[in-house]
């Protein structure tokens, strides 16, 4: 499992390529994403600036430094929604280390 680091109050990003069967997925049909970090859910419908898959539909960029996340180490769960999967597909988890300002 990969480990990513968020620095609260800073502009660092996490850049991810989502793959299915070893092939990079085109995210252009995605309508929404959520990232569950402990009991906090960051939702692209509410925090659009935290998620970017429009600039490059083969890459998800997460900008989480301005989100209300408590410093600590978590397993973050990403869920992806599109017109064919309105209940979302749990894409997977990664380790997320959140460092204070």
pLDDT tens, the chain, 101 aa long = 899 999 999 999 999 999 999 999 999 999 999 999 999 999 999 999 999 999 999 999 999 999 999 999 999 999 999 999 999 999 999 999 999 98
- pLDDT, residue 17, reads 96
Are the CB atoms for 1 and 77 separated by under 8 Å? no
Question: Where do the structural domains in the chain lie, given as residue ranges?
Answer: 3-99
Q: What pLDDT shows up at residue 101? A: 81
Q: CB under 8 Å to 15, separation ≥6 — which residues? A: 59, 60, 61, 62
Task: Tokens 């390529």: give the residue.
Answer: 17
Q: What is the pLDDT of residue 91?
A: 96
* CA dist., res. 51 & res. 62, Å (int): 5
Query: What pTM does this model have?
Result: 0.93
Three-state secondary-structure class, residue 50: helix
- Output the CATH code of domain 3-99: 2.60.40.3350
Distance CA 85, CA 25 (A): 15
């Amino acid at each position: 499992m990969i480990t990513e680091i968020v620095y609260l109050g800073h502009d660092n990003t996490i850049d991810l390529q989502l793959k299915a069967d070893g092939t990079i997925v085109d995210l252009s049909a995605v309508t929404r994403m959520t990232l569950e970090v402990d009991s906090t859910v960051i939702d692209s419908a509410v925090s659009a600036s935290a998620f970017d898959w429009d600039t490059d539909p083969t890459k998800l960029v997460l900008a989480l430094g301005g989100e209300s996340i408590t410093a600590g180490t978590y397993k973050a769960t990403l869920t992806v929604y599109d017109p064919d999967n309105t209940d979302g597909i749990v894409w997977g988890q990664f380790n997320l280390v959140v460092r204070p300002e």
